[in-house]
Amino acid sequence: MALHLKSTGIDFGDFANNGAMTSELLNDYEEGTWTPSTTLGSAGSPSGTYTHTGRVIICNGEFIFPSQTSGNHATIAGLPYTALNHTAAFNGSIRYTDYAAKQIMLHGNSNNVTVGLYEVDYGATTTTVTWSEVSGNRLDFNLIYFS
């Protein structure tokens, strides 16, 4: 396989067809910014960046959760691209300040632009994180998912 950078994209050349050179061009690449939001109230100080290569989206973001007393499931919204309709489409990590719970994980919603927060009790149970639990606290995260 030969890799060639061209003005139209990345060319993954390969020898096939009885030794004749064939080519596959990856021209679906983009970098940009996005504004993370929530599904319940305005997030404070939101910012984010993303890289889109083919079907793979790598994004990061940060914001402060809005002050809420709701017992509903806390979510991140406004991802830069709609997620693939697949249960294993997401992977991510977070750094969450001022939260005294066990461990928080992100779980993306298939065919959507939202991610839910879940609390993990060291392998014993998984429960949803509520808005009242994260009210006013900062979240830094990164995600890798497929669109």
| Least-confidence region, from 2-11, 13-22, 46-55 | 13-22
Does position 102 have pLDDT exceeding 70, yes or no? no
Does position 32 have pLDDT exceeding 90, yes or no? yes
Alpha carbon separation from 38 to 4, 29, 53 (Å, rounded): 41, 27, 25
* Percentage of residues in the chain having pLDDT higher than 90: 15
| Between 105 and 46, the higher pLDDT residue | 46
Rounded to two decimals, the pTM is 0.73
The domain 29-146 is classified under which CATH number: 1.10.3470, 3.40.50, 2.60.40, 1.10.1060? Answer: 2.60.40
What average pLDDT is seen over the chain? 77
| Least-confidence region, from 8-12, 20-24, 48-52 | 20-24
pLDDT band at 114 (very low <50, low <70, confident <90, very high): confident
Contacts of 31 (CB under 8 A, 6+ apart): 49, 50, 51, 52
Answer positive or negative: Cα dihedral of 70, 76, 81, 82: negative
Contact 58, 144 (CB under 8 A): yes
Residues 38-76 pLDDT 10s: 888 788 889 999 999 888 899 999 989 889 899 998 888
- Helix ranges (DSSP H) in 39-98: none
- Helix ranges (DSSP H) in the chain: 131-134
| Predicted pLDDT of residue 85 | 76
